[in-house]
Amino acid sequence: MNATNSFKDLLSKRDEVAERWKRKGRPVVGWACSYVPEEVIYASEALPVMVFGDVKDTTLADVFLPVNSCSFSRSCLNSALKGNYRYLDGYVTSNSCDNRNKIFDMWKYHTEIPHVYFINTPRTRFDDSYDFFYEETVRFRTFLEETFGQAISDDGLRDVIATYNENRNCLREVYALRRQKPPLISGVEALEIVLSSMVVRKEVHNKLLKGLLSNVSDRSDPPQEGLRLLISGSVMDDTRLLKVIEDLGCNVVADDLCTGSRYFWEDVELDADPLRAIAKRYLGKVPSSFMMDQKAGLKHTMDMAKEFHVEAAIIVDLKFCDNHLFDAIALTDEFKAAGLPVLHLECEHSLGGLLQLRTRIEAFIEMMRGVVQ
């Protein structure tokens, strides 16, 4: 049996996992942005799940959205409108980009999800920004307590933080397996592992991770050695594109995705007030593209490139994603300055036009390797 099958399996059964949790009489809360402090949800005995998109179509959501809006947010909304998220008791999002900001209203007024909640994330990281975000976290705790009738104590939060930090630590160890040549875990597998941590209670995921980490060195089917790539981008909620890339003879060994390294790179550092510690971690983490000062975000990407001995980079941006498209120009320059060839792809969440994307990726690989080796 493949070493990472259990994660893939979990990912494919995410609806069942959520429904099983619900049958225990406990809530399921969907979150849409890596700035939503998941620990607080978890401490209310709810199952936090990331809201993924619907790759098949977006016709229901199209009615509510302008054509030049984010195809990922569109497909998530479509999924909800279609009833795929019937089990959600709540949906929590943040103003991480203008699309998310506006699409909040569509979730609130057009889906049947009972509680739709908004967290205001600052764009700056001054002292008062942290104070503000802490207040937002307090407000969020109150909302959860009132909505689900479960008190969220400081001690409870401390336990959850420990569980989450353990998960983060294990995920970092999984990523470390990709430093070697060839990596012990493929990019597709790594993404499945991270995504699967977003659909199940962390205790369960921690057990799976520990099992993997103790057995993986003996695996009989490690990835073949290939061109070592870093993937830069925003959300990637399935493995289709990475599969295309790795099937062309590459090893995706690093990323700066918010569904990848940026999800778990930092722990919550416990101090006297666990809620303040959580707020500090989320606002202080590797910044997403919407945060002020692009250089801070780019640093993480370039550090990853170096640490994971990357030979080239592919920037994957969603069409009309202003924040990332602005950064792509600076990021391209950073990669070039580091001597790394870089390919910039713009695509829809559906990956429509995959043939042309594939041609670009293939040509990029031919360029790096030569056609006749």
Partner 1 sequence: MSQDTQFWKWPEYRHTEPEKDWTTASIITAGIDIGSVGSKVAIMLDGELYAYSVIRTGGVSEATSVKATEWALKETGLQKEKIHYVVGTGYGRVNVPFADRTITEIACHARGAHYVYGPAVRTVLDVGGQDCKAIRCDEKGKVLSFLMNDKCAAGTGRGLEVFADLIGIPIQNLGEVSLQVEKDPPPVSNTCVVFAKAESLALLRQGWSKEKVAAAYHAAMADRIADLLARVGIEKEFVITGGVSKNDGIVERLTRILKIQPLAPNMDPILAGAIGAALFAKALQEKRLGLR
Of 240-299, binders to partner 1 (CB under 8 A) are: none
> What residue type is 257 in one-letter code?
L
Longest dimension (CA), the chain: 66
Q: Shortest approach of partner 1 to residue 70 CB, angstroms? A: 17
Tokens 């390797």 found at: 369
What is the x/- site pattern for partner 1, positions 137-166, by CB under 8 A? ------------------------------
Question: 288: which DSSP letter?
Answer: P
By CB under 8 A, residue 370 contacts partner 1: yes
Distance CA 59, CA 98 (A): 21
CB of 221 or CB of 366, closer to partner 1: 366
CB of 1 or CB of 371, closer to partner 1: 371
What is the H or E stretch that residue 171 is in?
Answer: helix 154-176
Q: Shortest approach of partner 1 to residue 31 CB, angstroms? A: 32
Question: 343: which DSSP letter?
Answer: E
CB of 25 or CB of 370, closer to partner 1: 370
Q: Shortest approach of partner 1 to residue 364 CB, angstroms? A: 8
Which of residues 67, 272, 337, 372 is near partner 1 by CB under 8 A? 372
Of 101-120, binders to partner 1 (CB under 8 A) are: none
Tokens of 349: 């969440």
What is the x/- site pattern for partner 1, positions 350-369, by CB under 8 A? ---x-xx--xx-xx--xx--
CB of 20 or CB of 358, closer to partner 1: 358
How many residues touch partner 1 (CB under 8 A)? 14
Distance CA 332, CA 230 (A): 12
Residue 223 and residue 251 in contact, taking contact as beta carbons nearer than 8 Å: yes
Q: Shortest approach of partner 1 to residue 341 CB, angstroms? A: 8
Sheet of strand 90-94: strand arrangement: 47-50, 28-31, 90-94, 115-119
Which of residues 67, 272, 337, 371 is near partner 1 by CB under 8 A? 371
Tokens 């101090």 found at: 271
> What residue type is 339 in one-letter code?
G
What is the x/- site pattern for partner 1, positions 323-352, by CB under 8 A? ------------------x----x------
Q: Shortest approach of partner 1 to residue 359 CB, angstroms? A: 5
Q: Shortest approach of partner 1 to residue 371 CB, angstroms? A: 5
Residue 153 makes CB contacts below 8 A (sequence gap 6+) with: 43
CB of 153 or CB of 359, closer to partner 1: 359
Q: Which of 373, 370, 32 is nearest to 234 (CA)?
A: 32
C-alpha separations of 145 from 41, 106, 115 in Å = 10, 25, 13
Q: Shortest approach of partner 1 to residue 328 CB, angstroms? A: 12
Helix, strand, coil content of the chain in percent (nearest 5) = 50, 10, 35
Q: Applying CB under 8 A, which residues contact partner 1?
A: 341, 346, 353, 355-356, 359-360, 362-363, 366-367, 370-372
